[in-house]
Amino acid sequence: MSDKKRILLIDNEPGLCRMMEQILLDHGYLAKSYTSPHQAVEEFKASAWDLVITDIKMPGMSGLEVLQAIKAKQHDIPVIMITAYATVDMSIQALRKGAYDMLTKPFEPDELVYRVKNALQQRQLLEENRELRAELEEKFRFENIIGACDGLKSVLERVGRVASRDTSILVTGESGTGKELIAQAIHYNSPRREKRFVAINCGALPENLLESELFGYKKGAFTGATESRCGLLEAANGGTLFLDEVGNLPMNVQKTLLRFLQEKEFHRLGDTTPTRVDVRVLSATNSDLKEAIKSGAFREDLYYRLNVVNIHLPPLRERRSDIPLLAAHFIVQQNQKFKTAIKGFDSESLRMLSACEWPGNIRQLKNVIEACMAMETGEYISRDTLAQFIEADPDNCAVSDVTQQVNLDLPYTTALELFEADLLTGLLKRHSGNIDLAAREAGMNMVTMYRKIKRYGIRKGDY
């Protein structure tokens, strides 16, 4: 199929149609002209054309009627209107009905080509924005957050209940547990999804820069402020501002942020006029803010403003049953990115994965898998390769008889089930058959553990 842009021309003057058709063909476009607006509208099919150019004044059917009829069939197609009698009222009317541009007769060939290029570029940008938004919404749907343990399920249920409410949420958890991912999921499942998600790491900037980054400044507010600049709060207007590592906010910034949360307005640095914006604030921390309040490092009133709803993410060591899901996901992801063909882990490396404490949580697991896949020369990630990047207790790395390796050549769900059965058998062995202790370490309740033991046919002799 040709990738040339397709342009539909409608004008009751055959000579003008032939001229425009030839100009566009000479510049690499595909063009087809109609002298009958009724026929053009009748034969118009959505997605068959990239651009429509139509005269306004035509017998039987005006260009504005053509515009409306075509927009009814394909609302996002750009339409350029041609007229010999352009007036302000006519232009406004055409633009209100969805016209992209107006072209006045007579026009030079270069002018026609210029307007066409602009219209097509605008359409391409709109398509890219739609695709990006669809990609983001797909990526941050709750079901695409990897994990099936009871702890994560309860988190996602909580997230699902509060996403649609304009409530301040504090996400807590150790570093690497996916706090920003949860914040993004909240945003993209909220009524603010069409607007921006703006994130800032409050621990990554010095105090003097952090204030100006958040609230902006007026020209002349300080040395080097040669022009006024809006801050991230204004950039997020209508959307969501995510404050990561919020416990690192200096006191003066905490005071200004508190005023914004109370009044929905703030002052840029050096400005006496307040600025009002509509922003939902989400925040995250891996530190104990209650201890920070006691030590005087964090304002108690700000804490309660930010922590209207608390969502706590469990560390990976409490989600051991999710390790196979995450590991398989990262392998598939890396294979797609680097065009590799690693099939999975061998049985001994699986044991090491489940035995590791993962102090860096999911972020560490992802980085370790990426490093292993860069170094591995075989089809499966071996224990020797994995041992270069993690430390695990050798006594907890014995191989069970449930499965000898996870193979991503198998159907994806089958491979994960084998992986999970092997992991749960190993945990039961580690705790001498104590199902309660094994379930706790796996991050699931006993009912789920019993159900999985039955599902995978794990017998007492296996552990």
The pLDDT averaged over each successive group of 10 residues in the chain (463 residues) is 82 92 93 94 91 91 92 91 76 82 88 92 76 54 67 84 92 94 91 92 85 86 79 93 94 93 90 91 95 95 96 91 82 87 81 86 94 91 91 49 43 59 78 84 76 83 78
User: What domains sit in the chain, N to C, each tagged with a CATH number?
Assistant: 6-135 (3.40.50.2300), 141-314 (3.40.50.300), 317-462 (1.10.8.60)
The reported pTM is: 0.61
Q: What is the DSSP letter of 229?
A: B
3-class SS of residue 324: helix
pLDDT for the residue numbered 233: 92
The tokens of 223 are what? 């040395």
Pairing of strands 101-104, 169-172: unpaired
State the number of CA atoms in the 13 A half-sphere of 293 facing the CB: 9
Nearest Cα residue to 272 out of 322, 217, 335, 315: 217
Cβ–Cβ < 8 Å for 7, 49: yes
The string over 59-96, giving b where at least 16 C-beta atoms fall within 10 Å of a residue's C-beta and e elsewhere, is: eebebbbbbebbbeeeeebbbbbbbeebeeebbeebee
What's residue 220's pLDDT?
79
Q: Provide the Cα torsion 141, 147, 152, 157; round to 10°.
A: 30
Quick check: helix, strand or coil at residue 274?
coil
Beta-bridge mates of residue 242: 199, 282
Cis peptide before 106 (omega within 30 of 0): yes
CB-based contacts of 256-263 (< 8 A; 24+ apart in sequence): 256/211, 256/214, 256/215, 257/214, 257/281, 257/302, 258/299, 258/301, 258/302, 258/305, 260/233, 261/168, 261/302, 261/305, 261/306, 262/305
- Residue pair 94/56 in contact (Cβ under 8 Å)? The answer is yes
pLDDT for the residue 143: 52
Q: Which of 79, 67, 74 is CA-nearest to residue 103? A: 79
Nearest to 103 by CA among 29, 53, 49: 53
Token pair belonging to 353: 């994965």
CA–CA dist 93, 95 (Å, integer):
6
**Secondary structure element (H or E) that encloses residue 219, with its range:** none
User: Which pair of structure tokens corresponds to residue 396?
Assistant: 């907890």
Chain centroid offset of residue 19 CA: 46
354 alpha carbon, distance to own chain's centre: 29
Give the span between the Cα atoms of 456 and 321, in whole angstroms: 14
Token output for 181:
């991912």
Task: Using alpha carbons, select from 444, 427, 407, 417 the residue that is nearest to residue 355.
Answer: 427
Residues 6+ apart with CB under 8 A from 91: 102
